[in-house]
C-alpha cells in the first residue's frame, strides 16, 4: 500500500491508483448507512466486522494459493471438518478446548501440506487435487459425526467467536473475533508484502520456471502457500464454530466466496499478482453486498445471482484495466 505514494510522485498529473475494491467498499458502506443509520454506531460496524471475519481470514489465506498460481477448493470442507471434529473431540468438556484448538490448527496445516505435496510431487493440478481433498474431507466430516453431529461446543471453545472485549476507549467494545481477524490479516499481509516468502510466492505464480532458475525452492514455497491457506481455514472454522451451532454444512460455499473475495481484491487467477489487504477489502465488500441485499429484503436466490454477476464483472473490469495499462 505504501508504494502508492511513490507512484503518484513518479507519475504526476495522474490520479493515484486506488484499488477499485476500496471504492466499491466505500460505496457499499455508504449504501448500508443510508439504509440503516445505526451502522455508524460501534454495535453496527463491529457486528459487521465480526460477521465478515471468517471470510476475510479465509480470503487472506486463499490469496497466497491464488498468487502462487493455484486454487484451494478444500477450505470450505476443512471448515466443516474443524467444526464437526471439535464438537466430537470436546464432547461438551470445557477443559478439552485447550488441546482441541491447537490440534485443529495442526490439522489445517496438515491438510495444506497434503494438498501441496500432491500438487508438487504427484503433479496433479491444484484444481483437481483440492477438489479431491474437498470431497474426501466432506466425507470424513460425515463419517466422524455419523451423519448427524450432535451437541454444541463448550463456551471455552466459543470464546473466540462469541466473546467481546468490553470497556475499550473510543469504540466501547471489540469482539474477540475482530481482534483475531486483524492479527491474522496483519501477519499474513506482512508475510506477503514484506518478506522474501511473499516475493517468492509472487515469483512462482508469475513464472515458475524463471523462479526456479533464479533459485526459488518452488515446491517449498508452494507447499507453504497451501499450508497458510489450510491454517486460515482452520482459524475461520474455529470462529464459525463460535458463531453458530454444529452442522455438516457450515463451510459449504466458503471456498467460492473466498476466491471471489480475493478476485474482487484484484488477485490474478493463475498467479503472479495478489494482495492480502485487497483480499481483505474484497471480503468486506462481499459481506457488505450480502448485508445490503438483506436490508433490501431480497431473498437468498437473488444473493446468488448478484454474487455471480459481481464475480464476472470484477474479473472483466480487471482484464479491461490490464489491457489498457498494457501490463
Partner 1 sequence: MSGSEGAPPHKTKSGFRLERWAPLILLGGAFAIYVGVVLATGQAQYLTFDNLIAILGRSIALGITAIGQTFVILVASIDLSVASLISATAVLASVIMDGSPAMILPAVLAAVALGGLVGLTNGLVVTGLGVNPLIATLGMSLIIQGCLSAFVSNFAGSVPAEFQVFAYGRLGPFPLALLFLLALACLAWILLRFTKFGSDIYAVGGNEEAARFAGIKTRRIVVLSHVICSVCAVIAGLYLASRLRSGAPWIGADGVYDLESIAVVVIGGTVLAGGRGGIWGTMAGMLIFSLIDSVFNVAGVDSFAKQVLRGIIIVAAVAFYAARSKRIVA
Q: Are 60 and 276 in contact (CB under 8 A)?
A: yes
**Which of 95, 187, 270, 296 touches partner 1 by CB under 8 A?**
270
3-state SS class at 72: coil
Contact between 21 and partner 1 by CB under 8 A: the answer reads no
Q: What residues contact residue 83 under an 8 Å CB cut-off, 6+ apart? A: 153, 237, 240, 241, 246, 247, 250, 251
297: region left, alpha or beta (phi > 0 left; psi from -120 to 50 alpha): left
Q: Is 300 in the site for partner 1 (CB under 8 A)?
A: yes
- Please report whether residue 110 would count as binding partner 1 according to CB under 8 A: no
Which secondary structure element, helix H or strand E, spans residue 164, and what is its range?
strand 164-168
62 scored as a contact of partner 1 (CB under 8 A):
no
Please give the size of the binding site for partner 1, defined by CB under 8 A: 60
When asked if residue 217 is in the footprint of partner 1 (CB under 8 A), the reply is: no
Q: Is 210 in the site for partner 1 (CB under 8 A)?
A: no
The yes or no reply on residue 197 touching partner 1 (CB under 8 A) is no
Alpha-carbon span 170 to 220, nearest angstrom? 44
- Of 29 and 258, CB closest to partner 1: 258
Q: Which stretch binds partner 1 (CB under 8 A): 28-36, 49-57, 171-179, 207-215?
A: 207-215
Torsion 233-239-244-247 (CA) sign: positive
- DSSP secondary structure string for all residues of 17-42: ---HHHHHHHHHHHHHHHH-GGGGSH
Does 212 bind partner 1 (CB under 8 A)? Our answer is yes
The C-alpha atoms of residue 78 and residue 66 are separated, in whole angstroms, by 18
Q: Residues of 216-226 as b/e, b for ≥16 C-beta within 10 angstroms? A: bebeebbbbbb
292 binds partner 1 (CB under 8 A): no
Q: What is the dihedral of CA 121, 126, 127, 133, to 10 degrees?
A: 80
65 or 235: CB nearest partner 1: 65
- Could you tell me the smallest distance in angstroms from the CB atom of residue 225 to partner 1? 10
Q: Is the CB of 65 or the CB of 101 nearer to partner 1? A: 65
Say whether residue 185 binds partner 1 (CB under 8 A). no
* Angle, CA 315 vertex, CA 310 and CA 316 arms, to 5°: 95
Out of 169, 215, 301, 326, the residue judged to bind partner 1 by CB under 8 A: 301
Residue 118 lies near partner 1 (rule: CB under 8 A): yes
- 16 touches partner 1 (CB under 8 A): no
Confirm or reject binding of residue 296 to partner 1 (CB under 8 A). Answer: no
The residue ranges that bind partner 1 (CB under 8 A) are 68-71, 118-119, 121-129, 131-140, 142-143, 147, 204-205, 208-209, 212, 218, 222, 256, 259, 263, 269-271, 299-312, 315-316, 319-320, 323
Amino acid at each position: 500500500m505504501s508504494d502508492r505514494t511513490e507512484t503518484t510522485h513518479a507519475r504526476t498529473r495522474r490520479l493515484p491508483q486506488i484499488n477499485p475494491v476500496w471504492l466499491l467498499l466505500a460505496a457499499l458502506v455508504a449504501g448500508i448507512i443510508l439504509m440503516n443509520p445505526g451502522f455508524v454506531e460501534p454495535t453496527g460496524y463491529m457486528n459487521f466486522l465480526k460477521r465478515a471475519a471468517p471470510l476475510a481470514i479465509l480470503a487472506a489465506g486463499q490469496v497466497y494459493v491464488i498468487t502462487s498460481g493455484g486454487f484451494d477448493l478444500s477450505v470450505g470442507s476443512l471448515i466443516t471438518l474443524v467444526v464437526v471434529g471439535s464438537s466430537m473431540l470436546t464432547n461438551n468438556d470445557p477443559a478439552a478446548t485447550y488441546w482441541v484448538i491447537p490440534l485443529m490448527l495442526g490439522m489445517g496445516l496438515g491438510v495444506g501440506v497434503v494438498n501441496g505435496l500432491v500438487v508438487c510431487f504427484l503433479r496433479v493440478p491444484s484444481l483437481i487435487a483440492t477438489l479431491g481433498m474437498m470431497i474426501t474431507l466432506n466425507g470424513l466430516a460425515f463419517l466422524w459425526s455419523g451423519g448427524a453431529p450432535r451437541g454444541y461446543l463448550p463456551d471455552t471453545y466459543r470464546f473466540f467467536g462469541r466473546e467481546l472485549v468490553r470497556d475499550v476507549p473510543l469504540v466501547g467494545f471489540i469482539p474477540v473475533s475482530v481482534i483475531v481477524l486483524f492479527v491474522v490479516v496483519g501477519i499474513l499481509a506482512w508475510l506477503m508484502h514484506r518478506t522474501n516468502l511473499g516475493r517468492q510466492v509472487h515469483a512462482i505464480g508469475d513464472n515458475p520456471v524463471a523462479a526456479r532458475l533464479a533459485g526459488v525452492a518452488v515446491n517449498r514455497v508452494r507447499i507453504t502457500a497451501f499450508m497458510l491457506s489450510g491454517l486460515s481455514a482452520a482459524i475461520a472454522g474455529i470462529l464459525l464454530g463460535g458463531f453458530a451451532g454444529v452442522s455438516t454444512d457450515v463451510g459449504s460455499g466458503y471456498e467460492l466466496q473466498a476466491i471471489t473475495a480475493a478476485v474482487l481484491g484484484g488477485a490474478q487467477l493463475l498467479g503472479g499478482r495478489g494482495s492480502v489487504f485487497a483480499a481483505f477489502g474484497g471480503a468486506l465488500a462481499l459481506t457488505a453486498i450480502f448485508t445490503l441485499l438483506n436490508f433490501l429484503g431480497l431473498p437468498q436466490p437473488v444473493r446468488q445471482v448478484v454474487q455471480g454477476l459481481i464475480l464476472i464483472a470484477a474479473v472483466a473490469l480487471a482484464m479491461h484495466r490490464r489491457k489498457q495499462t498494457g501490463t
